[in-house]
Chain A
Amino acid sequence: QVQLVESGGGVVQPGRSLRLSCAASGFTFSSYGMHWVRQAPGRGLEWVAVLAYGGHNEYYANSVKGRFTISRDNAKNTLYLQMNSLRAEDTAFYFCAKDHGVNGDRGIDNWGQGTLVTVSS
């Protein structure tokens, strides 16, 4: 069965960087688009970024564009989110999610359990 396991969350000071990882198993990782979605504590879901199966097409939410970078290593079945210039408003649970389609535009079908990022001095 599909498994997505995020890691790399923690407490970080404003302006610093953090890299999240998502280890995928149970499916052919290199054949699917992948997303990052976040949720501030007690708030709703916010889409963050998507990356196509081959790593060639990526899109970002306006709130993170220019600061966050999504990438993948298909040989390691791993998705990443490099987060730079972190702000207090980036504090959230970050979920990795698999798409139905190759380009990440056919809807999410599986989610990881999430990792918490806290931006605080």
Chain B
Amino acid sequence: DIQMTQSPSSLSASVGDRVTITCRASRGISNYLAWFQQKPGEAPKSLIFAASTLQSGVPSRFSGSGSETDFTLTISNLQPEDFATYYCQQYDRYPPSFGPGTKVDIK
């Protein structure tokens, strides 16, 4: 099975900051990588698929990059509604696997 890791596990940031979250796969997964946002008490929300393609309706301050084993999610100009936990997921091989999450909270 493919293992996914994320760093950092948590970070504190201020409104307006640029935030970068890293996701690493234990083996190459091409660009079969998705990012999700989850707020407390809510279902996850899909942000990005195919490593860099924004889901419909997702603000352009979110961007994704990377391929094979190393990926990043960048949030530019952090907004109050962006404080949440972010998960990456590979879907190159079964079983699809999630990273452990990165919690972004207010500094």
* A→B interface (CB under 8 Å): 35, 37, 44-47, 50, 59-62, 95, 100, 105-114
In the complex with contacts A44-B101, A46-B98, A107-B91 CB distance below 8 A: yes
B residues bordering A, Cβ < 8 Å?
Answer: 1, 32, 34, 36, 38, 42-46, 49-50, 55, 87, 89, 91, 94-101
How far is A112 from B91 in the complex, measured between Cα atoms in Å?
A: 19
In whole Å, how far is B21's beta carbon from the nearest beta carbon of chain A? 14
Nearest 4 CB-CB pairs, A to B? A107-B49, A45-B98, A111-B43, A107-B34
The answer, among B45, B46, B98, B101, for a CB contact under 8 Å with A47, is B98
Interface centre among A37, A107, A109, A110 (most CB of B within 10 A): A107
List A contacts of B96 (CB < 8 A).
35, 47, 50
Contacts of A114 in B (CB 8 A): 43
DSSP majority for the B interface? loop
Q: Are B43 and A62 in contact (CB under 8 A)?
A: no
Interfacial chain B residues near A46, Cβ < 8 Å: 98
Q: Please give, as numbers and ranges, the residues of chain B lying within 8 Å of A50 by CB-CB distance.
A: 94, 96
Chain B residues contacting A112 (CB-CB under 8 Å) are: 43
Q: Are B44 and A95 in contact (CB under 8 A)?
A: yes
